[in-house]
Amino acid sequence: MKQIQVEIKYKLGHTYKFKYDETDSHCPNCGNKSVWVEHGEGDFYCGPTYLCISCNYAFYIPIEKKAEYTEQQAIDQIKKELGL
Ligand SMILES: [Zn+2]
């Protein structure tokens, strides 16, 4: 997988270099396999930024969504196992 370094220029004048790694992920917005992820751990709360170079979309994982039928079963069983 390819890695590309970018240099971001901030409005206050300073610059900072980031590395982005190519991924196998599909973009949740356009479905294309054109997603790059910020190298390293990224933001403490959100994790690394993912960028889609096909549709200019930025996102974090996990992506929020309501649990589906099968996921709800897993949630229920984890809660049961924890006595909740
Ligand atoms: Zn996209």
Asked whether the beta carbons of 50 and 35 are under 8 A apart, the reply is: yes
What is the CA(70)–ligand 1 centre distance, in A? 26
Query: pTM of the prediction?
Result: 0.70
What is the CA(17)–ligand 1 centre distance, in A? 23
Q: Name the E strands within 1-84.
A: 3-9, 15-22, 35-38, 50-52, 57-59
pLDDT digits (tens, 9 = 90+) for 42-62: 888 888 999 999 999 999 876
What is the CA(44)–ligand 1 centre distance, in A? 24
Q: What b/e sequence results for 51-80 when a residue is b if at least 16 CB atoms lie within 10 Å of its CB, and e otherwise?
A: bbeeeebebbeeeeeeeeeeeeeeeeeeee
Domain total of the chain: 1
What is the CA(51)–ligand 1 centre distance, in A? 8
What is the CA(37)–ligand 1 centre distance, in A? 13
Give the domain range for residue 33. 3-82
The confidence score (pLDDT) of residue 80 equals: 95
